[in-house]
């Protein structure tokens, strides 16, 4: 899943993960079989509402999920679902501007200029196909008319900014004591969420219904450029980002999962506001949205408020279409070899099953058997044969299809080929022998503990409901646990033999790209500049930590979160885990002296 930076706090997303994963280690006790008491209602316009009353915290975590992600796009407008995640914070007729009528007039004029710009851009694409220009993004390749129009458009942007009230949507909330406003876009959903004081529930109802009923997509083209820059930073400027994108595109042949959530670089700058308006009318209609409230409120009082505010939004005239394309059965192994400014490693994907499939639970248990520092891959490749320094495994059950990913980072002096061979050796054991009962039960216990932890507060319950409802069934918050516990050793052996076949996999091998020595920590090579800075600050704190129990607990917690972390954070968490392990080794060595 892709999570944007929290508004007003550029780096707090990483710090929050650090805080949760490292320094908050206590489990919240819960009774076996605990259920989340979800009340479900449907409003007159088709919008669904999920409510969970919880006492103890004088706040309400509120959110909503639009059942739309990058899989609902098409070539030419890839990235549009993620673009809307940005645009939904731009305000309404009463929020975000000093003069709404003037704002509208400027937006209309901007559209007229953009239409003329698109005509010039079409000429450039034709010239590119004829070989007359070599790159559509180079300023020198722009037509003279386009340069004139861009100047005019920039003047309109400056004119509009004179009457804008930046971040007013966020400021209204924070002034009222709200916190944690954010959103995310994945292949299958777009989620919006915030926590408000319990006595500000009606404010939440008004704010969220207003941006759905009367959104104003001001600064549309400027924000489109922001998204393009985000793509550059997260994908093109990271050591493995561009390769991961290529690997994903290679893995999915027919399914729309083969394009990135953030969109292809040629599509993002080409999306028009007219296309955005059409997309919004279909996928942000009430019948395609679920409201979710978790916290200190009474459902009997919240439901009338929801009707008052959200039933103002008329039902959409079109139903959101299903994704019809089914991934073709892979008939031959795929391979990608890449040189990257990162440690040598091997990454492998297998086609598996989507969310809700009976085998998805077995595959998730199997992934847990392989992953973390108590799992088979770490024991076999890091502690055993010592061909690797880090390992991972996860089942990714998306709404329409799924994949299983496993891999390892090679130890100095060892090769990706050796790593790959060792990975298969561990998987072959699962194919040939049933997992011992004690080992399987330990993993099931971990699942049970994790399920309990997710019920500890309003926010994690809200996020689970957003996630499960976005994939197709919120009831999984209560029903998934027993399904994990029902997995047998025979099930694991069966799915290993079913899915981990040669013709069903795609393999990426990464070797280190030759670069001049910079004197920097080589472990930080896979990270972008912001992550390097953040990790260096954290490493300074690690040097002062002497509590081994705390560090080991933190390491285990990080291992649990790596499989669910946004793609752009996985490299950071991997390096962070290594640094914690280095500190543990250092302390243990000192104890033996």
Q: How many CB atoms lie within 10 A of CB 592?
A: 5
Say if CB 107 and CB 184 are below 8 A apart: no
pTM (2 d.p.): 0.82
For 206, phi then psi, to 5°, come to -70, -50
Q: Give strand ranges (E) for 296-351.
A: 334-340, 345-351
Could you give the CA distance from residue 429 to residue 407 in angstroms, rounded to a whole number?
16
Nearest alpha carbon to residue 545 among 525, 12, 553:
553
Say if CB 60 and CB 201 are below 8 A apart: yes
Could you give the CA distance from residue 188 to residue 255 in angstroms, rounded to a whole number?
13
Say if CB 322 and CB 293 are below 8 A apart: no
- Tell me, letter by letter, the H, E, C secondary structure of 116-150: HHHHHHHHHHHHHHHCCCCCCCCHHHCCHHHHHHH
Instruction: State CA 73 to chain mean position distance.
Output: 17
Could you give the CA distance from residue 352 to residue 401 in angstroms, rounded to a whole number?
7
Strand pairing report for 289-295 and 48-53: parallel
Say if CB 171 and CB 47 are below 8 A apart: no
Query: ∠ CA(48), CA(52), CA(55), 5° rounding?
Result: 155
Q: For residue 541, with 0-12 CB atoms within 10 Å meaning exposed, 13-18 middle and 19 or more buried, which class applies?
A: exposed
Say if CB 341 and CB 513 are below 8 A apart: yes
Could you give the CA distance from residue 135 to residue 147 in angstroms, rounded to a whole number?
16
Sequential pLDDT tens for the chain (593 residues): 345 443 333 344 343 444 333 322 222 233 345 789 999 999 999 999 999 999 988 999 999 999 999 999 999 999 999 999 999 999 999 999 999 999 999 999 999 999 999 999 999 999 999 999 998 888 899 999 999 999 999 999 999 999 999 999 999 999 999 999 999 999 999 999 999 999 999 999 999 999 999 999 998 888 888 888 888 888 887 888 899 999 999 999 999 999 999 999 889 888 999 999 999 999 999 999 999 999 999 999 999 999 999 999 999 999 999 999 999 999 999 999 999 988 999 999 999 999 999 999 999 999 999 998 999 999 999 999 999 999 999 999 999 999 999 999 999 999 999 999 999 999 999 999 999 999 999 999 988 888 777 788 999 999 999 999 999 999 999 999 999 999 999 999 999 999 999 999 999 999 987 754 445 677 787 777 667 767 777 777 787 778 788 888 788 777 766 655 666 677 788 888 888 888 888 787 777 66
Could you give the CA distance from residue 406 to residue 553 in angstroms, rounded to a whole number?
23
Q: For residue 82, with 0-12 CB atoms within 10 Å meaning exposed, 13-18 middle and 19 or more buried, which class applies?
A: buried
Handedness of CA 11, 206, 64, 32 (dihedral sign): positive
The side-by-side arrangement of strands in the sheet containing 2-3 is 2-3, 179-185, 190-197, 59-66, 289-295, 48-53, 39-42
CATH of domain 34-96+165-310: 3.30.830.10
Q: How many CB atoms lie within 10 A of CB 336?
A: 15
Query: ∠ CA(90), CA(93), CA(97), 5° rounding?
Result: 65
Instruction: Give me the pLDDT at residue 197, please.
Output: 98
C-alpha separations of 9 from 12, 323, 529 in Å? 5, 35, 17
Instruction: Give me the pLDDT at residue 225, please.
Output: 82
Instruction: Give me the pLDDT at residue 98, please.
Output: 95
Number of H helices and E strands in the chain, helices first, is 20, 12
Could you give the CA distance from residue 240 to residue 575 in angstroms, rounded to a whole number?
14
Question: What DSSP assignment string belongs to 510-550?
Answer: EEEPP----SS-GGGTTS-HHHHHHHHHHHHHHTT---HHH
C-alpha separations of 11 from 4, 235, 277, 401, 535 in Å? 10, 18, 32, 32, 12
Say if CB 48 and CB 42 are below 8 A apart: yes
Contacts 24+ apart (CB under 8 A), 544-550: 545/583, 546/587, 548/584, 548/587, 548/588, 550/23, 550/25
Q: What is the DSSP letter of 32?
A: T
With b meaning 16 or more CB within 10 Å and e meaning fewer, what string describes 120-153? bbeebeeeeeeeebeebeeeeebbeebeebeeeb
Could you give the CA distance from residue 119 to residue 113 in angstroms, rounded to a whole number?
10
Domain with CATH 3.30.830.10 in the chain: 34-96+165-310, 334-514
Domain 334-514, classified CATH 2.60.130.10, yes or no = no
Tell me which H or E stretch contains 251: helix 241-251
Could you give the CA distance from residue 14 to residue 534 in angstroms, rounded to a whole number?
8
Q: Give strand ranges (E) for 186-300.
A: 190-197, 289-295
For 320, phi then psi, to 5°, come to -65, 125
Q: What is the DSSP letter of 481?
A: H
């Amino acid at each position: 899943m892709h999570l944007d930076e929290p508004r007003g706090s550029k780096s707090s997303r990483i710090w929050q993960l650090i805080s949760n994963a490292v320094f908050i280690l206590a489990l919240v006790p819960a009774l076996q079989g605990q259920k989340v008491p979800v009340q479900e209602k449907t409003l007159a316009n088709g919008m669904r509402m999920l409510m969970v009353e919880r006492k103890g915290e004088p706040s309400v975590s509120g959110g909503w999920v639009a059942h739309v992600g990058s899989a609902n796009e098409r070539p030419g407008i890839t990235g549009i679902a993620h673009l809307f995640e940005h645009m939904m914070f731009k305000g309404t007729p009463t929020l975000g501007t000093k003069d709404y009528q003037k704002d509208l007039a400027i937006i209309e004029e901007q559209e007229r200029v953009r239409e003329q710009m698109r005509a010039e851009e079409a000429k450039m694409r034709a010239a590119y196909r004829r070989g007359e220009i070599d790159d559509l993004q180079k300023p020198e390749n722009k037509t003279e008319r386009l340069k004139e129009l861009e100047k005019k458009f920039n003047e309109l942007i400056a004119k509009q900014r004179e009457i804008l009230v930046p971040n007013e949507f966020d400021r209204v909330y924070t002034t009222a004591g709200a916190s944690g406003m954010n959103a995310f876009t994945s292949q299958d959903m777009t989620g919006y969420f915030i926590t408000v004081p319990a006595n500000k529930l009606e404010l939440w109802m008004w704010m969220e219904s207003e941006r759905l009923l009367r959104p104003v997509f001001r600064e549309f083209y400027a924000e489109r450029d922001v998204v393009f820059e985000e793509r550059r930073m997260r994908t093109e400027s990271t050591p493995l980002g561009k390769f991961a994108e290529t690997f994903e595109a290679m893995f999915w042949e027919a399914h729309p999962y083969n394009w990135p959530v953030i969109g292809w670089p040629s599509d993002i700058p080409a999306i028009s506001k007219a296309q955005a308006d059409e997309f919004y009318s279909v996928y942000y209609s009430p019948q395609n949205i679920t409201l979710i409230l978790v916290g200190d409120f009474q459902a009997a009082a919240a439901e009338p408020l929801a009707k008052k505010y959200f039933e103002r939004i008329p039902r959409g005239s079109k139903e959101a279409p299903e994704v019809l394309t089914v991934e073709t059965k892979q008939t031959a192994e795929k391979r990608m070899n890449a040189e990257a400014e990162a440690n040598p490693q091997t990454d492998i994907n297998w086609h598996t099953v989507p969310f809700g499939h009976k085998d998805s639970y077995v595959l998730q248990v199997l992934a847990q058997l392989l992953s973390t520092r108590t799992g088979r891959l770490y024991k076999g490749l890091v502690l055993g044969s010592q061909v690797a320094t880090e390992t991972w495994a996860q089942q990714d059950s998306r709404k329409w299809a799924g994949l299983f990913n496993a891999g390892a980072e090679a130890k100095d002096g060892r090769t990706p080929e050796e790593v790959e061979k060792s990975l298969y050796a561990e998987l072959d054991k699962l194919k040939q022998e049933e997992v011992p009962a004690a080992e399987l039960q330990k993993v099931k216990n971990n699942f049970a503990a994790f399920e309990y932890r997710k019920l500890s507060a309003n926010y994690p319950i809200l996020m689970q409901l957003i996630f499960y409802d976005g994939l197709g069934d919120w009831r999984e918050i209560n029903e998934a646990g027993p399904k994990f516990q029902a997995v047998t050793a025979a099930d694991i052996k069966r799915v290993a033999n079913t899915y981990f076949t040669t013709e069903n996999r795609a393999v990426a091998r990464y070797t280190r790209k030759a670069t001049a020595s910079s004197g920097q920590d080589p472990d930080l090579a896979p990270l972008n500049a912001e992550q390097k800075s953040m990790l260096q600050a954290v490493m300074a704190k690690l040097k002062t930590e002497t509590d081994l129990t705390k560090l080991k607990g933190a390491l285990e917690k990080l291992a649990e979160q790596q499989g669910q972390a946004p793609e752009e954070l996985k490299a950071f968490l991997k390096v962070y885990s290594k640094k914690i392990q280095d500190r543990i080794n250092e302390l243990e060595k000192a104890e033996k002296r």
